[in-house]
Amino acid sequence: MTDVKDAFLPTESGAFRIYSYAFDDPNNPHIALVTNDLDLSEPIWLRIHSECLTGDVFGSLRCDCGFQLRKSLDLIQRFGGMLIYLRQEGRGIGLHNKIGAYALQDEGYDTIEANHKLGFGSDLRNYEPAVKILKEWNVNRVRLISNNPLKKLYLETHGIEISELFPMIKPVDPYNEAYLRTKREKMGHHLPQE
pLDDT greater than 60 at residue 193: no
Number of H helices, E strands in the chain: 6, 7
**Quick check: is 98 in a domain?**
no
* Rounded CA separation 163/180 (Å): 25
pLDDT greater than 90 at residue 192: no
pLDDT greater than 60 at residue 102: yes
Q: What is the DSSP letter of 89?
A: G
pLDDT, average across residues 116-142 = 91
pLDDT, average across residues 117-144 = 92
Which of 47, 91, 125, 143 is an active site residue? 125
Determine the residue type at 82: M
CATH of the domain at 130: 3.40.50.10990
pLDDT, greater one: 70 or 189:
70
* Rounded CA separation 187/50 (Å): 16
Number of domains in the chain: 1
* Rounded CA separation 156/179 (Å): 27
**Quick check: is 69 in a domain?**
yes
**Quick check: is 137 in a domain?**
yes
pLDDT greater than 90 at residue 173: no
Q: H or E element: which one contains 178?
A: helix 177-187
pLDDT, average across residues 127-142 = 95
Which of 64, 91, 123, 143 is an active site residue? 123
**Quick check: is 47 in a domain?**
yes
Average pLDDT, the chain: 87
pLDDT at residue 23, rounded to an integer = 83
Instruction: Provide CB contacts within 8 A for 164, sequence distance 6+.
Output: 43, 143, 144
Looking at 12-160, which runs of residues are DSSP E strands? 14-22, 30-34, 44-50, 81-86, 141-145
**Quick check: is 167 in a domain?**
yes
User: Is there a catalytic annotation at residue 123?
Assistant: yes
Handedness of CA 177, 183, 188, 189 (dihedral sign): negative
pLDDT at residue 94, rounded to an integer = 87
pLDDT at residue 38, rounded to an integer = 87
pLDDT, average across residues 64-82 = 94
**Quick check: is 102 in a domain?**
no
pLDDT greater than 90 at residue 3: no
**Quick check: is 138 in a domain?**
yes
**Quick check: is 59 in a domain?**
yes
Residue 53 sits in which domain range?
Answer: 3-88+125-187
Provide the pLDDT confidence category of residue 115 given band limits of 50, 70 and 90: confident
User: Is there a catalytic annotation at residue 125?
Assistant: yes
